[in-house]
Amino acid sequence: MISRPSTPFQCSRTLEPTVGVLSGLLYSCSATWRVLWLVLLAGAAQCFAGYFLMWTAVAGVIPRPPVPVMCLFMFVAAHAMSFFNTSNAVTGVRNFPYYKGTIVGIMKGFLGLSGAILFQIYWTFLYKKPASFLLMLALLPTINTLLLMWFVRIHKKYEGNEKKHLNSFSLIALIVAAYLMGFIILENLLTLCLAIRVVAFVVLILLLASPLCIAIRARQGESNRVSPTLLAEGDQLIDGESNWRDTEKSHIQDPSGYRHLPSNNTDRELDSNDRSLQSGENFNLVQAMCTMDFWILFIAMACGMGSGLATINNLNQIGGSLGYRTFEKSTLISLWSIWNFLGRFGAGYVSDHFLHLRGWARPLFIVITLTGMSIGHVVIASGMPCALYTGSLLVGVFYGSQWSLMPTITSEIFGVLHMGTIFNAITIGAPVGSYIFSVRVIGHIYDKEASTAWNTCTGAHCFRLSFLIMACATFLGSLTALALFFRTISFYSQDIDGTSNT
């Protein structure tokens, strides 16, 4: 057991979103130039450079680098994720303006599952071969991006069956998550031979490739569409949205992507919510940072995302203090990806449903999820039997929720033109909060509780106070988000969902 649960390597990995603003700036320029592949190309270059340099160090191709240099390699590799993330999420929001939460949830959800998928690759083909695994991480994402980046584009037309196709994508995502969860539990209970692992991996690849069938079917349906009246068909969730679509369509054709308030409410554009831009304009990063809404989101994410990162970074140490066996700790960490996915996907889908059907302002779901996250921290702090399983499930699900709710809310409050830059700036709160909770709270308290002779700590008391502090901080974040809910409730009812209910 180490004295400080947070290490330099964890810090370099966690700092990935800190300069994610660069990916947002590049995306804004690339969207103007209509070269979105440039953002993905930049991400692929960083991914290859970072992991390849790590491979050369581990494989002995270059002399063993100092720790700061190795951390730099890790930082470059991790920073690539912000370019992939920004390009896919913002493009998805622009292509599916009525289902922002759902599409962001799907994108972020698969990102959450990626850890579990890579874990299966490691256990199936590269077990106890760390150098080979690093080389695979350098090559596989890079080649995949170079092959597929040309298909990432902004489309300026509406599809009548958007909801139907997104539901199909959502179903496949849930099937993949359930399959991974079942297999992770099975392999931690039984010793599986290589043949079974290979067959299971092939099934996983087929599941991951199945969305191609949905895309092909959607394209065929588009070519066979005869009458525009098909736009009115589909899921009852989109009943009555035709007026909203007419309004939104004009905005999609406008590169600014800004949402206009109803014409009889133009005076409210200059209200106490700081949304003082003229109609048709978007907030850039500086303008957004001058609003109260930006800093409310920043504080809420620092509390929520920060405490969530601190939890996963120290989950192994917590399990050790509570006497969990190695396979139990491994199962906990593997299942975190599944809980993370469920939160990312579920929050986006559910918030869309209640926004369009009930008119609930989306910030309300940040209030709910941060409150649930606070309860999860309290459960872990209790130290009761199975508390770590239950608590990590709650924290994992509600932590993942922030990653789909925050970008979606950002696009709705500040517009889509600079969405990538703004939501990456807000995400800086995550590593800030993680550092405070991991080093200044968990690490400091663990040192005080640890045995002087062996510098180790055993028992629930090692982390109890830390998680109670994080529970209070997360609850404070939910109260902050509640302020955002009240500030934006009229904005959402008039501007986001109001026209669909008229």
Place of tokens 């809404």: 293
pLDDT score at 324 = 87
139-193 tens-digit pLDDT: 999 999 999 999 999 887 666 678 888 999 999 999 999 999 999 888 878 888 8
The most confident of the ranges 234-248, 415-429, 441-455 is 415-429
Taking Cα atoms as reference points, which of 311, 266, 275 lies closest to residue 293?
275
- Give the helix/strand (H/E) hosting 259: none
Answer yes or no: is pLDDT of 273 > 50: no
pLDDT digits (tens, 9 = 90+) for 27-58: 999 988 889 999 999 999 999 999 999 999 99
Give the mean model confidence (pLDDT) for residues 92-116.
91
Mean of all residue pLDDT scores within the chain: 83
286-299: average pLDDT:
95
Contacts of residue 179, defined as CB under 8 A and 6 or more positions apart, other chains included, come to 203, 204, 207
Q: What is the pLDDT of residue 184?
A: 86
- Measure the CA–CA gap between 308 and 303, rounded to whole angstroms: 8
pLDDT more than 70, % of the chain: 81
Helices (H) and strands (E) in the chain — how many of each? 20, 0
On whether the CB atoms of residues 166 and 155 are closer than 8 A, the answer is: no
Residue 422: pLDDT over 50:
yes
Local confidence band at 403 (pLDDT 50, 70, 90 cut-offs): very high
Supply the pLDDT for residue 252: 40
Give the pLDDT confidence of 443-476 residue by residue, as tens digits: 889 888 876 656 778 888 899 999 999 999 999 9
Q: CA–CA separation, 44 vs 16, rounded Å?
A: 15
Rounded-to-integer distance, Cα 202 and Cα 195, Å: 11
For residue 61, the tally of other CB atoms under 10 A from its CB is: 11
d(CA 234, CA 172): 19
Angle at which helices 194-209 and 211-223 pack, to 10 degrees?
A: 20
What is the pTM for the complete model shown?
A: 0.84
pLDDT at 261 > cutoff 50: no
Report whether 314 contacts 438 (CB < 8 A).
Answer: yes
CATH topology of domain 8-216+272-500: Growth Hormone; Chain: A; (1.20.1250)
Q: Angle 178-182-184 (CA atoms, 0-180°, nearest 5)? A: 115
Selected residue with higher pLDDT from 383 and 220: 383
Q: How high is the pLDDT of residue 159?
A: 60
Q: Are 42 and 83 in contact (CB under 8 A)?
A: yes
Q: What is the pLDDT of residue 369?
A: 98
